[in-house]
Every structure is written in C-alpha cells, then in structure tokens.
Amino acid sequence: VDTGEDLRKTCAASTAFIGAGGVPGTLTLVITNGDALPPDAYPSITIAVDNKDLPAGKSVAATFGDDKGRVTAKLHSDGAVNGRLSWTVDNQAKTSLALLRVMRRASALDVSFGDAPVGSISMDGFTKAYRSLGASCGFPTADVAP
C-alpha cells in the first residue's frame, strides 16, 4: 500500500562526557537521508549538558578545538534534551565541515561557549562513527574522514 509518505532514515552518533564542574553531557551528530547531504550540508551538531550557567539564546559564540587549532561557530540553545539544556551549531556547510575536521583530528575537543568552559570531550572513535553515519544515511565521508 502506497501511503504517499516519504520514508526517511535518521542517523545519529553520540558520545557522553563529563564537563566543566563535573556535570554530565552529550555531543551528538544527527542527519536524515531526506536532508541535504554532504558536501552540500553536514550533520547537525548538538551539545546537551547539565550546566545552567552556560550562556543561552539564539546566537551564542562557541569555540571548538585543541592545541593544533580552533573553529568558532554560533549556537542556538534549544529546550531540554532528556532534562539537559542543549545547544545546536548553526549548520553552515563551511563551518560544519571545519568543525567536523577538527573533531576528526583532535584526541579531545575543547569546547567553550563565550568565556565559559563546557568541557574537553574525547573524540576516540569519531572517524569510525562518522563513516558509519555516512554508510547508514548514504553520503560520502571522504571530506571529513578519508
């Protein structure tokens, strides 16, 4: 029976971390195969963390990186995810690609929102997880994880 509905697959990869001040958090990449796919657009990047002292709003400045380099991005804070406040990177292809490449390169991703440290998030397994997202949702990964 053809219901006329589009069948879409949502693909996600997530890692948990303990942030500044010992508060738990998650970093999650999400994309659906109905979205624009790489290289036109990249998975959304969301951080959820139990830290109500972090800046919130529609245009939060954030820095992601390690000792080899940093990427700045704008975030918008969303409602709570599983009881945690969440922030999503404004998904601009050029910025998202640069951020994903830093995530691939870094052993730990240092994250801050404004002047407030969020935490240092382990990137162990990032390349494998990103390739798995590509395989599951049907997009090439060579520009991020060759």
**pLDDT reading at 3 higher than 80:** no
**What residues have CB less than 8 Å from 95, skipping those under 6 apart?**
71, 73, 89
The model's pLDDT over 104-121, given as tens digits with 9 standing for 90+, comes to 999 999 999 999 999 999
Question: With DSSP H G I counted as helix, E B as strand and the rest as coil, what are the percentages for the chain, rounded to 5?
Answer: 20, 45, 40
From the list 146, 51, 48, the residue with the least C-alpha distance to 100 is 146
Q: Which residues pair with 47 in a beta bridge?
A: 27, 87
Residue 78: CA count within 13 A, CB half-sphere: 15
pTM of the model: 0.91
Q: Are 32 and 8 in contact (CB under 8 A)?
A: yes
State mean pLDDT over 4-14.
85
Question: What is the chain's length?
Answer: 146
The model's pLDDT over 58-110, given as tens digits with 9 standing for 90+, comes to 999 999 999 999 999 999 997 776 778 999 999 999 999 999 999 999 999 99
CATH code for the structural domain at 10-132:
2.60.40
